[in-house]
Amino acid sequence: MTATTDGSTGAANLRAAPVSDPTDTTTAADDVLAAARQAAERSVRHLLGRQDEQGWWKGDLATNVTMDAEDLLLRQFLGIQDPATVKAAARFIRGEQLGDGTWATFHGGPGDLSATIEGYVALRLAGDRPDDPHMIRAARFVRDRGGIAAARVFTRIWLALFGWWKWDDLPELPPELMFFPKWVPLNIYDFGCWARQTIVPLTVVSAKRPVRPAPFTLDELHTDPARPNPPGRTAPVASWDGVFQRLDKALHLYHKVAPRGLRRIAMNAAARWIIERQENDGCWGGIQPPAVYSVIALHLLGYDLDHPVMRAGLASLDRFTVLREDGARMVEACQSPVWDTCLATIALADAGLSPDHPALVKAADWMLGEEIVRPGDWSVRKPRLAPGGWAFEFHNDNYPDIDDTAEVVLALRRVRHPDPERVEAAIDRGVRWNLGMQSRNGAWGAFDADNTSPFPNRLPFCDFGEVIDPPSADVTGHVVEMLAVEGRSSHPRTRRGIEWLLAEQEASGAWFGRWGVNYIYGTGSVVPALIAAGLPAAHPSVRRAVGWLESVQNEDGGWGEDLRSYQQEEWVGRGASTASQTAWALLALLAAGERDGRPVARGIGWLAGTQQADGSWDEPYFTGTGFPWDFSINYHLYRQVFPLTALGRYVYGDPFATGTGKGA
């Protein structure tokens, strides 16, 4: 074979596979190796064919119908609904409804109350009748689960915008938060960047308490329509929940007497903060929810829809949409081109593609152009740190991502670029920035350092998802692996990261996965990092991890873990086999020296046996995590890049597994 720029591959551009001693290689092992090589070649062709002309890759990022429902509610609130958008969105929402009338938040998951309420309301806006059979089933489920009153706060905020819920019965979020200095608890920088970008505009919405006339009632979603807003549970005074409940009551009283001048100044400060963080393409942080709430907040403050900020913001929302062949319209919560591109680059390089292959050079060029070289919100806590990271999205200069930066460095290190000095300069900036973003405990979070305040999660307003960004094992593992490849295994910060990882290992031998599902992801991220940093495969922590992975392998040879593992211990390491999770387990086992073991052979066999004719894998299950349990993600490229990386390392080995990278 020869590699060409049209997506085909060839031996001239592939590394030579390790040659085994024929005297100790069984026929079965030969068969597995041949199957792995063939599957990798098909996968390489498929992945090369999906590269954009500019050099990037991006798979769909699927979440749940609340994105689509809230998009329709926003358009209804602003008065900009159009029949074609409503029809296409409704088609998608109906297609996601389960047989019992509910909507789940991940494939194979149980019906979710808030998602079902929002899906139901969106279909009402689209013209579906409450006496339609699918709507009757949905409404029955909502009532059986406590009605609208039992929904999460964000769902009830959307209903309050139309008078379907009372603002008085929602937690208060005053815009005067903007005045809190960074050393005061509950200042906006105590929140994770995604929560911060949402909370700032919602302080304006909370202060304004707008109500637009609803086109219909929702009596059928209340357990008692005559008493739709029953009082909630009162927590004991001596508990933290009790303290924050009483704080919320005090804030409700303050809402009634807040000095108008002070409140106006606070809301104007929030508006300035929002506008200063609007990206060049009009979005906010490359994430759909902050964009939606920012548009509402600015509209309430008098920005008309023709204002340049508003026009750009609304236009950016259209770029979150995916139009399907059946006419359905899906809204992505976010887009992941930088993440997808660095992972695809690593996969292709590890699968034998020559480091100077045009596809890899083009990918490197695009990634180099995406480097963020200006300060963002992270610099509030790290004012002396020079910028030099990468974000997750196309446009997000305010919030570079520590995880993305580590993986981009690993990807760039695999490419032989015609301008090596440019690459080295970017890598050096990325390494320096990542080192500087280490938290005090020796580990790394995703976007900020030391974003660990215990107070934001206590607010009654924050009843959904993570609102802080503490360090995690998966991000720390990726950073440690990157530092090891860069010859910094002995650096004091790397050693502290390794010590933290060893201390965080579960008794089972696994590591918790914050940004992927779940313990398989955490373990698949940490073990290769520890080996790259110089820990021997015989280290007790590595052996315990290997033992755990082998113990949770499925009978079919693959690995899978259901999202319910975030809530229920019996699901830990258990679930239908998936391509991405099988690959994560294999990456750990291969790094730990288990290449010739039966579990690896069975896992490789599962990947080869489930690959489709076009070189891809089917993966309906959600293996990505936005917020553990609360918000789940199906990254459509995970099913491609991670299996290819695992197959490539099985066939060719991992050049960085033992710290053989730059400077080692």
Question: Is residue 57 scored above 80 in pLDDT?
Answer: yes
Q: What angle do CA 219, 71, 333 make, to 5 degrees?
A: 120
pLDDT reported for residue 496: 98
Q: Is the pLDDT of residue 447 over 80?
A: yes
The percent of the chain in helix, strand and coil, each rounded to the nearest 5, is: 50, 5, 45
**pLDDT tens string 273-319:** 999 999 989 999 888 889 999 999 999 999 999 999 999 999 999 99
Q: Report the half-sphere exposure of 199 (CA within 13 A, side-chain side).
A: 29
CA pair distance 6, 345, nearest whole angstrom: 16
Catalytic-role residue among 403, 404, 448, 469: 403
Asked if the model's pLDDT at residue 608 lies above 80, the reply is yes
Residue 657 pLDDT level (bands cut at 50, 70, 90): low
Residues in the chain: 664
Query: Which domains does the chain carry?
Result: 25-59+336-462+470-652 (1.50.10.20), 62-217+230-331 (1.50.10.20)
pLDDT bin (cut points 50, 70, 90) of residue 252 is confident
Q: Which residues pair with 401 in a beta bridge?
A: 390
Is 401 noted as a catalytic residue in this protein?
Answer: no
Per-residue pLDDT for 142 more than 60?
A: yes
Average pLDDT of the chain, as a whole number: 92
User: What is residue 13's predicted lDDT score, i.e. its pLDDT?
Assistant: 44
3-state secondary structure string, 349-373?
Answer: HHCCECCCCHHHHHHHHHHHHCCEC
* Virtual torsion, Cα 354, 360, 365, 367, nearest 10 deg: -130
Closest residue by Cα to residue 291 from 270, 277, 272: 277
Tokens linked to 585: 């387990």
- Confidence at residue 16, expressed as pLDDT on a 0 to 100 scale: 41
The token duo for 31 is: 């068969």
pLDDT at 654: 79
pLDDT at 9 over 70: no
Asked whether the predicted pLDDT for residue 656 surpasses 80, the reply is no
DSSP 577-630: --HHHHHHHHHHHHHTT-TTSHHHHHHHHHHHHH--TTS-----S--EEEETTT
